[in-house]
Chains A and B, each alone.
Chain A
């Protein structure tokens, strides 16, 4: 059984598993999307954020 057949039979074939796949991938997507956006924000604002200048002030 090839990989695509396995994926189709386990994830997409039945509506119940398809819906479950959507929900689970939504969690993964949310985590990845938020992390990616934060990383992007911190990259373009590097040097301006508290985490970058924290060492100058705390002991």
Chain B
């Protein structure tokens, strides 16, 4: 045990501290707690909405003196503005929705219908393309014959048909033309051929409508000799298809043909 005199010095010292001028005699100014400002947020998603809900134990007070009003989220959240996505006819709050309903529907269906119509046009062209590939191919057409009813061709006319991909002229010559072509001196021609060599029946001239110069299609019943005239470089053919003037070197080609009866010619 300590003797009282031994510890009395400590007591004295303590009492001295208490009584010292260091002792706080007047309360000091309280430094206020620094205010932490909470950033207010608007609940605009499920996550932010859930943050407004209590996540720990909580108690609810009730009673006549306690307000029990709860502020629900929907009173705080402003409705998003969807104006950019709305049709302008629905933006006016004074116009009833049902008044503009048909015009809005019409616009939507017009777009869909326009797409449908242009798709039908495209589909028709695709189908036509494939169906045309089933038609007679080039090698079949290259061996094709053509049968022509001569009664349909009036005298003095030249009618064009398509034969093996080329134009074919059938000319019903008048007696004047026949006489004129028969009378032409063969020696005066560039490609000497008598009219009888070129026709099986004098009233019917069958020639290919391909200019022997560069392959243009001559025009019937024109030119200086009343037969054919090539507009590309000015070759004149007579009513027997013989070259008379211009750059072409040869007469119009006479394809193989025969007359099985009086009013039908088969070319090929």
**Distance A57 CA – B230 CA, assembled complex (angstroms):** 9
CB atoms of B222 and A58 under 8 A apart: yes
Residues on A with beta carbons closer than 8 Å to the beta carbon of B121: 26, 29-30, 33
Instruction: Answer yes or no: A5 CB below 8 A from chain B CBs.
Output: yes
Shortest beta-carbon distance from A26 to chain B in Å: 4
Interface centre among A21, A23, A25 (most CB of B within 10 A): A25
CB atoms of B120 and A23 under 8 A apart: yes
Interface size on A, residues (CB 8 A): 22
Residue of B nearest to A53 (CB): B231
Per DSSP, are chain B's interface residues mostly helix, strand or loop, or mixed? helix
**Distance A55 CA – B93 CA, assembled complex (angstroms):** 67
CB atoms of A57 and B222 under 8 A apart: yes
CB atoms of A5 and B102 under 8 A apart: yes
**Distance A56 CA – B219 CA, assembled complex (angstroms):** 11
CB atoms of B219 and A12 under 8 A apart: no
Given A33-B121, A58-B219: A2 in contact with B102 (beta carbons within 8 A): yes
Interface residues of B (CB under 8 A from A): 102-103, 105-106, 109, 113-114, 116-118, 120-121, 124, 219, 221-222, 229, 231
What would be 16 A-B contacts, judged by CB atoms less than 8 Å apart? A7-B102, A7-B106, A8-B102, A11-B109, A18-B109, A18-B113, A22-B117, A22-B120, A23-B117, A25-B113, A26-B124, A29-B121, A30-B121, A33-B121, A53-B231, A59-B222
